[in-house]
Amino acid sequence: MKYPFHAQRYRTLIIIGISLSILVLLRRWYGFWAVAFFISLTLTEVLYLLKEYGFDRARLLVLSKKVSVTVFASGVFFLMAAAPLLMFFLGDDYSHYTSLYLFNNTVLMHFKRTIGHFGYIYSALTLLGIVVSLYYKNTRKAASFLIIQWVVMSYLFTQLHSFLPQHYYILQPTMLIFIALLITSIFTNIKSRALRIIIFIVCISISTFSFSTVFFPDIAVHTKQARAWFPNQKYYPPVRNDIPEIKRMLSVIGNLLADPDEKLYVLASSSDLNSDTIQKASLSLPDVKDIQKQVYRSSDLDMKDGFPTNLFSARYVLVADPIQYDFDPSKTQVITIPAESILEGKNMGKSYKKLQYEFNLEKGVKVYLYERIGPFNQADVDFLSDTLRKFYPDNPHVYTYGF
C-alpha cells in the first residue's frame, strides 16, 4: 500500500476486509490466513505505534477504529455471502472432519516437514529474504507483519490439522514475498550489469530446474544425491496399466444402470478405487458412458463422512477384495464393516447377491458387483448402526441412519 495502515481511508479498509472474506470463500483454509492477518496487523501496528509515539491515546484510538472497521467489513460481507457456512464453522465441532489429518507432531517436526516440502534452496532464500528485510528500515515493519502472520497462521493451523501438500499454499505467498525482496535488494545494490545478468540467469535456472524435478520424473532422477535441496512433493503424470479393465467395468456398470433411477454405491476408498474413480471416469475416458448422477459419493472416513446412508438406497454395490482404503482401517469402519459383510455373505451381506462379473485391477485387486435382493431392509440398517455405535458411542453422526 502507498500509505501506512493508520493513514488509510475507510473506503480502502472496507475493500481490504471484503477481499479477505472473498479469499476465505474461495478456499476455507485461507480462514487461517485471514485470522492471522488481523492478529499480526494489530500487533505490528500497536508495537510500532508505541515505539514511535509512546502511549498516545489519540493515535491508539484511531488505530483501533480502523482495525475494527476492517474486521467488521470482513465479517458482515462474509455473513451476507455465506451465512450457512459461517454457522457451520461456529456451531460444528470441526475436529470431526480434521482429526484424521492431525498427526502427533511437535513444532520441530512441523518445521522440518515444511522445509522438506519446499526444499533447502527455497527455504534458505526465504530465510535470507527475512534477514535482509529486517536489516533495512524501510522494509522492517512489513517484514515484522509477515513474520508474525506466518508464525500465527502456522500455529493455528497445526492445532487443528497437520500440513498436507495441498495446504502449503497458504505459506507460499509470504515465502515468495521474502524471496522477491531478497532478489530486489541484490539487484538494487549491484551496479555491474554483467553480474546482474549472471544472477538473473541463476535465479531462472534454479526456478526452472526446481519446477522440473516436481513434474518431470526424467529430470528428478538426476537429483537423487541432492533431493533435499528441492521440493520433496512430486506430481508426476499418473500411469495406470489397468485402463482396459476399468473400461470394461464401466461398460458393465453403465449397462446395469440403464434405468436413470438405478444407483450404484462404491464400497472402496483407496487412491486406486473410490466413488470418484467411477463418478468422474468419463471426464478422462470420453468413450465411456457418463454415470456421474447415478453413482453415490461414498462415506469414506467415519468421523468425517458419517453413516453411509446412501448405501441402503443403491441397488448395486461395488466391492473390492482386498478391501480398499488408504487410512487406518479402524477409522474407515463405514467401508470395512459393510464390505466384509457383503464379501462373506454374512449379516447385512445376506441381502446382496453376487453378480457374474469380476474385474482385475492393479496390485492384485479384484472388484465384484453385488445387487440388493428385495426392498429396503431395516435389519441391515440396525446391524450396521449397532456395530458402528460400539466404536463411536459418543458420535451419533457416525452410527445414525439419515443423520
Looking at the fold, whether 149 and 233 belong to one and the same domain comes out as: yes
Looking at the fold, whether 295 and 389 belong to one and the same domain comes out as: yes
Q: Which residue, of 175, 209, 237, is where some domain finishes?
A: 237
Looking at the fold, whether 148 and 71 belong to one and the same domain comes out as: no
Q: Integer distance in angstroms from the first to the last C-alpha of the chain?
A: 49
Contacts of 66 (CB under 8 A, 6+ apart): 5, 6, 8, 10, 13
Looking at the fold, whether 194 and 290 belong to one and the same domain comes out as: no
How many domains would you assign to the chain? 3
Chain centroid offset of residue 139 CA: 32
Looking at the fold, whether 275 and 382 belong to one and the same domain comes out as: yes
Q: Which residue, of 59, 77, 92, is where some domain finishes?
A: 92
Report long-range pairs for 389-392 (Cβ below 8 Å, ≥24 apart). 391/302, 391/330, 391/333, 392/302, 392/303
- Supply the pLDDT for residue 98: 61
Looking at the fold, whether 98 and 165 belong to one and the same domain comes out as: yes
Chain centroid offset of residue 144 CA: 28
Segments in 92-136 forming alpha helices (H): 95-98, 107-135
Looking at the fold, whether 71 and 195 belong to one and the same domain comes out as: no
Please tell me the distance from the alpha carbon of residue 395 to that of residue 298, in angstroms, as a whole number: 19
Please tell me the distance from the alpha carbon of residue 280 to that of residue 270, in angstroms, as a whole number: 15
Looking at the fold, whether 215 and 250 belong to one and the same domain comes out as: no
218: Cα within 13 Å, side-chain hemisphere:
0
Please tell me the distance from the alpha carbon of residue 157 to that of residue 149, in angstroms, as a whole number: 12
Looking at the fold, whether 301 and 336 belong to one and the same domain comes out as: yes
Looking at the fold, whether 224 and 247 belong to one and the same domain comes out as: no
- Supply the pLDDT for residue 245: 92
- Supply the pLDDT for residue 93: 59
- Which pTM was predicted? 0.76
Query: Sign of dihedral through CA atoms 271, 276, 279, 281?
Result: negative
- Per the structure, the complete domain to which residue 87 belongs is given by 1-92
Place of cell 451419533: 396
Looking at the fold, whether 99 and 85 belong to one and the same domain comes out as: no
- Supply the pLDDT for residue 42: 92
By residue count, the chain amounts to: 403
Looking at the fold, whether 135 and 225 belong to one and the same domain comes out as: yes
CB 341, CB 317: distance < 8 Å: no
**Burial zone of 278 (CB within 10 Å; 0-12 exposed, 13-18 middle, 19+ buried):** buried
Tens place of pLDDT per residue across the chain (403 aa):
566 777 788 899 999 999 999 988 888 888 899 999 999 999 999 898 888 888 888 888 888 999 999 999 998 888 888 777 667 666 555 566 666 666 666 778 888 888 988 989 999 999 999 999 999 988 999 999 999 999 999 988 888 778 888 888 889 999 999 999 999 998 888 888 888 889 889 889 888 888 888 888 887 777 777 778 888 888 888 888 889 999 999 999 999 998 888 999 999 988 889 998 888 888 888 888 888 889 999 988 888 888 999 999 999 999 999 999 887 788 899 999 999 999 999 999 999 999 999 999 988 899 999 999 988 788 899 999 999 999 989 888 888 887 5
Element (H or E) spanning 321, and its range? strand 316-321
CB atoms within 10 A of CB 90: 8
Query: Sign of dihedral through CA atoms 380, 385, 391, 397?
Result: positive
Q: Which residue, of 220, 237, 254, is where some domain finishes?
A: 237
Element (H or E) spanning 366, and its range? strand 366-372
Cell of 221: 532422477
Chain centroid offset of residue 219 CA: 27
